[in-house]
């Protein structure tokens, strides 16, 4: 120890001078984490360089790299390479972000759930007398503040690139060689079809081989099929046009929900086993193997268990702008090959059940993690 240090040992300021004035407002028994606890946990996570770089690469770096490379190709050889983004690229990037986002968020959660323990700081925290539940709960907003910000930033870059670096927006949708104007709602599409009976019938083929033999027959066929026609029109429009602000918002919220689920489950699972690597690998297996396999199709007598998979629920909640909702195998399927539309998928789950399943995963794993933290030997 240096001489300076030695002097400080003997003569340093006395913490006695900072005695608590009167009875302290002691909230250490409260289960609610203080803003300072959340802030310092956020600091602890933010300062983990490897974790932050990995998270940054897969949330922001990956879309930036894909768009950047495509834009460079386009700038150097516009004839061979199209614009950096188009609606298809938007969908693909969102799919990859969902897959990697889930895994990164799970790893982030597992890290947040185990580092105090593995670094030997948990016992220091327990000795403060602070409620162990509060110590656990502080990790949720701290980690989500980082993850949701980075996920949102990555998605915002994709959206901006889609709007500003994408193809010029067409004014019509090509339906079997017929140009149908874009941005029609169902009523206006019906009006347009009545005014352009021959083209409309060709475009959507809903009245057989002789579509305009009888106006009455046309009217009847149109009335019977307008809902199906409109779904087909919307689907084709989505593949042609950049997603609108509302659709982008839906997709962004879906990605954020995916990250939130993965983080809280990873946090709870990490706390439960106290081991980051095993928790992360388990989450990857769940995401890229188990969920895609079980979300493909109904298995007799097993379908209700299949429905409990959070990935299968997220599959069904996938916004229309990101493609077919059913049978794609969850967000993780992008990594192992999308089983794709055309697979039968699981029987749709009611909305209330989906909300309950997602809530159950988040709350259930949080309870498990918190319970383990409260009873663990420190």
**Contact predicate 296/302, CB 8 Å:** no
Shortest gap between Cβ of 159 and other proteins (angstroms)?
Answer: 34
Instruction: Render 153-169 in DSSP notation, one character per residue.
Output: HHHHHHHHHHHHSBPPP
H or E segment to which residue 173 belongs: strand 172-175
Q: How many residues bind other proteins (CB under 8 A)?
A: 54
> Of 91-99, 174-182, 233-241, 370-378, which part binds other proteins (CB under 8 A)?
370-378
Task: Using CB under 8 A, pick the residue from 32, 119, 277, 340 that binds other proteins.
Answer: 119
Among 237, 15, 304, 59, smallest CA distance to 158 is for: 59
Shortest gap between Cβ of 45 and other proteins (angstroms)?
Answer: 10
> Of 6-14, 68-76, 89-97, 255-263, which part binds other proteins (CB under 8 A)?
6-14
Among 142, 132, 144, smallest CA distance to 271 is for: 132
Task: Using CB under 8 A, pick the residue from 273, 284, 325, 374 that binds other proteins.
Answer: 374
Task: Using CB under 8 A, pick the residue from 76, 195, 350, 375 that binds other proteins.
Answer: 375
Q: Compute the half-sphere exposure of residue 97: CA atoms within 13 Å on the CB side of its CA.
A: 36
Length reported for the chain: 378
The residue (of 145 and 290) whose beta carbon lies closer to other proteins is 145
**Residue 77 found at the interface with other proteins (CB under 8 A):** no
The residue (of 31 and 164) whose beta carbon lies closer to other proteins is 31
Instruction: Render 74-123 in DSSP notation, one character per residue.
Output: HHH-TTTS--SB-HHHHHHHHHHHHHHHHHHHHHHHHHHHHHHHHTT-HH
Shortest gap between Cβ of 280 and other proteins (angstroms)?
Answer: 19
Shortest gap between Cβ of 146 and other proteins (angstroms)?
Answer: 15
> Of 5-13, 69-77, 271-279, 349-357, which part binds other proteins (CB under 8 A)?
5-13
Rounded CA separation 343/339 (Å): 7
Shortest gap between Cβ of 39 and other proteins (angstroms)?
Answer: 7
The residue (of 17 and 195) whose beta carbon lies closer to other proteins is 17
Task: Using CB under 8 A, pick the residue from 133, 145, 273, 356 that binds other proteins.
Answer: 133
Instruction: Render 288-345 in DSSP notation, one character per residue.
Output: IIIHHHHTSB--TTTHHHHHT-HHHHHHHHS-GGGS--SSS--TTHHHH----BTB-B
Q: Could you give phi then psi for residue 166, rounded to 5 degrees?
A: -85, -170
The residue (of 130 and 307) whose beta carbon lies closer to other proteins is 130
Shortest gap between Cβ of 118 and other proteins (angstroms)?
Answer: 9
The residue (of 30 and 239) whose beta carbon lies closer to other proteins is 30
The residue (of 9 and 76) whose beta carbon lies closer to other proteins is 9
The residue (of 14 and 195) whose beta carbon lies closer to other proteins is 14
Shortest gap between Cβ of 319 and other proteins (angstroms)?
Answer: 38
Contacts with other proteins in 154-193 (CB under 8 A)?
Answer: none
Q: Where are the alpha helices (DSSP H) in 119-244?
A: 122-127, 132-164, 186-195, 197-204, 215-240
Q: How many other CB atoms are found less than 10 A from the CB of residue 269?
A: 25
Contacts with other proteins in 325-344 (CB under 8 A)?
Answer: none
Rounded CA separation 328/312 (Å): 9
Burial class (CB in 10 A: 0-12, 13-18, 19+), 41: buried
Query: Which residue has tokens 């079980």?
Result: 294
Rounded CA separation 346/329 (Å): 9
Task: Using CB under 8 A, pick the residue from 96, 163, 281, 378 that binds other proteins.
Answer: 378
**Residue 56 found at the interface with other proteins (CB under 8 A):** no
Task: Using CB under 8 A, pick the residue from 32, 123, 179, 220 that binds other proteins.
Answer: 123
**Residue 4 found at the interface with other proteins (CB under 8 A):** yes
Convert residues 12-41 into a mask of x (bound to other proteins by CB under 8 A) and - (unbound). xxxxxxxxx---xxxxxx----x-xx-xxx
Residues of this chain that interact with other proteins (CB under 8 A) are: 1-2, 4-6, 8-10, 12-20, 24-29, 34, 36-37, 39-41, 43-44, 47-49, 115, 119-121, 123-133, 135, 374-375, 377-378
């Amino acid at each position: 120890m240096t001489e300076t240090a030695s002097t400080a040992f003997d003569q340093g300021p006395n913490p006695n001078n900072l005695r608590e004035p009167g009875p302290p407002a002691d909230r250490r028994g409260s289960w609610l984490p203080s803003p300072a606890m959340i802030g310092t946990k956020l600091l602890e996570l933010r300062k983990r360089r490897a974790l932050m770089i990995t998270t940054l690469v897969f949330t922001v770096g990956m879309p930036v790299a894909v768009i950047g490379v495509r834009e460079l190709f386009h700038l150097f050889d516009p004839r061979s390479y199209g614009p950096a983004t188009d609606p298809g690229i938007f969908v693909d990037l969102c799919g990859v972000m969902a897959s990697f986002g889930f895994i990164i968020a799970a790893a982030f959660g597992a890290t947040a759930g185990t580092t105090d323990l593995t670094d030997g700081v948990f016992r220091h925290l327990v000795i403060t007398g602070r409620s162990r539940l509060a110590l656990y709960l502080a990790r949720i907003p701290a980690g989500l503040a980082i993850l949701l910000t980075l996920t949102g930033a990555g998605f915002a870059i994709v959206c901006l690139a889609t709007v500003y670096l994408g193809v010029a927006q067409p004014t019509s949708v090509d339906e079997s060689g017929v140009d149908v104007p874009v941005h029609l709602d169902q009523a206006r599409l019906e009006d347009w079809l009545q005014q352009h009976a021959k083209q409309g019938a060709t475009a959507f083929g809903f009245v057989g081989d002789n579509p305009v033999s009888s106006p009455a027959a046309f009217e009847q066929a149109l009335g019977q099929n307008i809902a199906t026609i409109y779904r087909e029109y919307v689907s084709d429009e989505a593949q042609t046009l950049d997603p609108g602000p509302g659709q982008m918002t839906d997709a962004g919220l879906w990605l954020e929900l995916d990250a939130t689920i993965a983080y809280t489950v990873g946090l709870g699972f990490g706390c439960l086993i106290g081991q980051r690597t095993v928790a992360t690998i388990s989450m990857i297996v769940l995401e890229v193997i188990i969920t895609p396999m079980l979300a493909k199709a109904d298995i007799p007598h097993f379908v209700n268990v299949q429905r409990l998979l959070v990935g299968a629920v997220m599959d069904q909640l996938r916004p229309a702008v990101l493609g077919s909702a059913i049978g794609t195998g969850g967000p993780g399927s992008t990594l192992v090959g999308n089983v794709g539309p055309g697979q039968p998928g699981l029987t749709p789950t009611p909305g209330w059940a989906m909300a309950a399943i997602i809530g159950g995963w988040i709350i259930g794993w949080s309870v498990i993690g918190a319970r383990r933290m409260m009873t663990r030997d420190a």
